[in-house]
Amino acid sequence: MLKRRNLALLLTLTLLPLLFPRTAAALRPMSHFIELVAGEGDQELVDGEYWRAAFNQPLGVSSDPTGTRLCVADAGNHVLRLINLADKNRVTTLAGTGRKGFEDGTLAHATFNTPRAVVWIDNYRILVRDEGNQAFRMVDLQTGRVTTLGGAAGKVPRPYQDLTQDAVWNMAYLRSARAVFFTQPSIGALKKIDLATGAVSLVVQGNPLVPFPNALCAFKGNLWVGDRDGENVCRVQAVDGASVTLLPEGKAKAPAALVGLADEIVALMPGWDTWSRAYPAGDYKLMTAWGFPVGEDPSHFTGLVYAIPGQPLGLCPSPTEGHRFFVALPALNRILSIREHHQDQLKDLHSNPASGLNDYDYPTAKPKGTFRIMIIGNSYSYSLGFNDLHRWGDKVGMMRSENMPKKLELFLNTEAAWRDCPTRFEVMHYGFPGDQPLFLWPTYLVPDMVKKFDVDLVLEFVAPETFNTSQVFFQRPMTPEGYPAQNTETDYLMKPWDQKIPGGKPKAYFEYLKSKNLAQVSASGQILLEGFDRVLEDEKAREMVVDLFTPSIRAFTRKLSSLRTSGGQPVQYRMFFLPIRNKGNSSHRVYSAFWKRIANGADFPFQDLTQPFVTFSSSYWPADETEGGMHFLTKGHDLLAYILTHTLVESGLVKLDKPKPAP
């Protein structure tokens, strides 16, 4: 069911291309977690642009070693198709005439009969399972010819034909073995083709762990196999030895297909959108951009991925992006790309990956052609409102996909596709709740995260806050650079209160606050400061805080300015002010002026988002909470991401240029 929470976002996406001038006649393929690679959906044989191209029951898909070309076994059209990922996913017919047949020869004249599976062996050779002809065919792009393994087309010797005639479900290439493996579940066999000689040999048959082997994949240099009827997914040990062992290390109930990614094996089962993690074994859900699982409401939505019972389906990994895979959809006549960053496991904002991000599990290696943005800030930059928690129910929590960083990623990639810009955008978040001093922790932590994830642009978000984070000057020892240490030390906290007041500016600040009844020492010896809003309302105290905060922020921005991306470009930085309601007894004007003074003193760019947010927030009402934590609601995150999309493009921080024509 299309829920009301998405109506404002859908309207925003509809308006994006109207408000940004379109500069190209054709859209570029969309880049996101789930994206169309090619296929209009009609059951035809049409080459050309990715959105116009048509397939007829594409059953197999495989990527070349460079990750720039896909070969598709277009079974219903009896041809092989080529998708050029480096040319806007343009589709051409690689081999076959479109009529059923069994002829070797040139790519244009060779014929096939229901090609079911393909495996790209190297840059020039593709092995095809020509199921209707019960044969394996080799496509050689260097010679431009198609040949039949074991003999000429239609003239394969009987002994060889006996080994290959039973229906083949799946194939997998194992580079270390220099062989292609294939399964024949009807006779319970896993077999091997020696690529040097073309010889076919039996690997295992009738094994009780996988009595009907079907789905295959390569993962971390090993061959893995699933069972047509059972739930064991086994690692095949010693595929080149005399004694082959099956190790039941994974689980997936009757998988139609397996795909090995960087750190897991994903399985697709028959039916609509039925997935699992085969290894390590566990649940898996394909997640939409809106946060709910694909197939959550089958009575109202047609599913996205349908594995036809009794029919194989093609999955293949990207050789250049360890968390990306491609899927051929015979029921929908489309090819999709899926990027797996554990979105289902990290859908709740309260769950974080081991990398330290407040986000999905992005790989540290930045994919080619990707521009990475890291958003840093406290909970106002990523958390949602209390009602958002209750809308989904406590069991689910708050949907990460609904926050500003994820909406910004979606909007930027949508606009890039519309403008024919080849850049792909990833927007990741790194931050902590508001009780952590935002003027301090980025100095210690963010530069290393920027280097780790090869970030191009850092956006820091500051906002009004009543919690007085300047308290940290009296809780941690001072560094020689003039700002507090990264961590609190127990021995330091045990000192008498007067020994925890550093000399110089921190001491002057404390004494002044005390004289204005803005600071006191409790009976237990604790230094207590009034709320940050009250302190900033005092002009002299405000200037003193500016002097205290500036050294650490200056050190942070200087560290960033010294960094370079893997492409040799300087890391960019900008601070944005968010006009949230949590301003206490002060005003947005005072808070904004305070941070702007720091920006001027530390010499970094600062931008106040009050004007656009105030302008649009009534139309997007309710954008934020009026009580409690006063966080943005999901509609407020939509609005904020929309404002940022405009701001980043118009300021030149994000470039959406279409590619320059070749000379």
The secondary structure of 582-607 as a DSSP string is --TTS-HHHHHHHHHHHHHHHT--EE
- Looking at the fold, whether 332 and 386 belong to one and the same domain comes out as no
Query: Does the pLDDT value for residue 390 go beyond 80?
Result: no
**Residue 213, both tokens:** 């082997």
pLDDT at 299: 60
Q: Are 545 and 509 in contact (CB under 8 A)?
A: yes
- Looking at the fold, whether 249 and 125 belong to one and the same domain comes out as yes
> In this structure, is residue 497 part of a structural domain?
no
- Looking at the fold, whether 375 and 293 belong to one and the same domain comes out as no
Alpha-carbon gap, residue 498 to 494, rounded angstroms: 11
pLDDT at 5: 44
pLDDT at 113: 98
Cis ω before 622 (30° cut-off from 0): yes
> In this structure, is residue 474 part of a structural domain?
yes
Q: 304-314, pLDDT tens digit by residue?
A: 899 989 999 99
Which of 295, 319, 339 is the last residue before a domain boundary? 339
Query: Does the pLDDT value for residue 21 go beyond 70?
Result: no
pLDDT grade for 217, boundaries at 50, 70 and 90: very high
The residues, any chain, with a CB within 8 Å of residue 351's CB and separated by 6 or more, are 345, 397
Region 632-651 average pLDDT = 95
pLDDT grade for 456, boundaries at 50, 70 and 90: very high
Place of tokens 């005003």: 587
Q: Are 446 and 438 in contact (CB under 8 A)?
A: no
Place of tokens 């008498």: 496
Q: Which of 353, 313, 343, 310 is nearest to 331 (CA)?
A: 313
> In this structure, is residue 222 part of a structural domain?
yes
> In this structure, is residue 352 part of a structural domain?
no
**Residue 560, both tokens:** 């960033």
Which of 339, 362, 391 is the last residue before a domain boundary? 339
Alpha helices in 367-497 (DSSP H): 386-392, 404-418, 441-453, 490-493
Q: Are 410 and 34 in contact (CB under 8 A)?
A: no
- Looking at the fold, whether 374 and 335 belong to one and the same domain comes out as no
Q: Provide the domain count of the chain.
A: 2
pLDDT grade for 389, boundaries at 50, 70 and 90: confident
pLDDT at 394: 59
What DSSP state is assigned to residue 476?
S
- Looking at the fold, whether 282 and 416 belong to one and the same domain comes out as no
Whether the CA torsion 484, 437, 442, 576 is positive or negative: it is negative
Burial of 133 (0-12, 13-18, 19+ CB in 10 A): buried
pLDDT grade for 351, boundaries at 50, 70 and 90: confident
Q: Are 8 and 53 in contact (CB under 8 A)?
A: no
Which range among 188-202, 384-398, 503-517 shows the weakest confidence by mean pLDDT?
384-398
* 504 torsion bin: left (phi>0), alpha (psi -120 to 50), beta (else): left
- Looking at the fold, whether 335 and 377 belong to one and the same domain comes out as no
- Looking at the fold, whether 67 and 211 belong to one and the same domain comes out as yes
For the chain, the first-to-last Cα distance in angstroms comes to 50
Q: Are 37 and 82 in contact (CB under 8 A)?
A: no
pLDDT grade for 450, boundaries at 50, 70 and 90: very high
- Looking at the fold, whether 334 and 374 belong to one and the same domain comes out as no
Alpha-carbon gap, residue 507 to 501, rounded angstroms: 6
Region 335-342 average pLDDT = 96
- Looking at the fold, whether 44 and 182 belong to one and the same domain comes out as yes
Rg (CA), the chain: 29
- Looking at the fold, whether 333 and 374 belong to one and the same domain comes out as no
> In this structure, is residue 136 part of a structural domain?
yes
Cis ω before 551 (30° cut-off from 0): no
> In this structure, is residue 156 part of a structural domain?
yes
pLDDT at 300: 56
> In this structure, is residue 306 part of a structural domain?
yes
Alpha-carbon gap, residue 507 to 487, rounded angstroms: 20
pLDDT at 4: 43
Q: 62-114, pLDDT tens digit by residue?
A: 999 999 999 999 999 999 999 999 999 999 999 999 999 999 999 999 999 99
- Looking at the fold, whether 312 and 437 belong to one and the same domain comes out as no
Query: Does the pLDDT value for residue 301 go beyond 90?
Result: no
CATH number at 631 reads 3.40.50.1110
- Looking at the fold, whether 326 and 392 belong to one and the same domain comes out as no
| Residue 520 CA to its chain's centroid (Å) | 49
pLDDT grade for 7, boundaries at 50, 70 and 90: very low
Q: Domain of residue 308: give its range.
A: 32-339
Q: Which of 275, 280, 182, 197 is nearest to 236 (CA)?
A: 182
> In this structure, is residue 11 part of a structural domain?
no
pLDDT grade for 23, boundaries at 50, 70 and 90: very low
pLDDT, averaged across the chain: 92
CATH number at 111 reads 2.120.10.30
**Residue 215, both tokens:** 């789905």
β-bridge pairing 606-608 and 572-577: parallel
Phi, psi of 221 (to 5 degrees): 80, 5
Which of 339, 360, 390 is the last residue before a domain boundary? 339
Inter-helix orientation angle 7-19/404-418, to 10°: 40
Residues in the chain: 663
The residues, any chain, with a CB within 8 Å of residue 431's CB and separated by 6 or more, are 358, 375, 376, 377, 378, 379, 381, 382
The Cβ of residue 524 has, within 10 Å, a number of other Cβ atoms equal to 6
The Cβ of residue 252 has, within 10 Å, a number of other Cβ atoms equal to 27
pLDDT grade for 239, boundaries at 50, 70 and 90: confident
Place of tokens 């070309």: 69
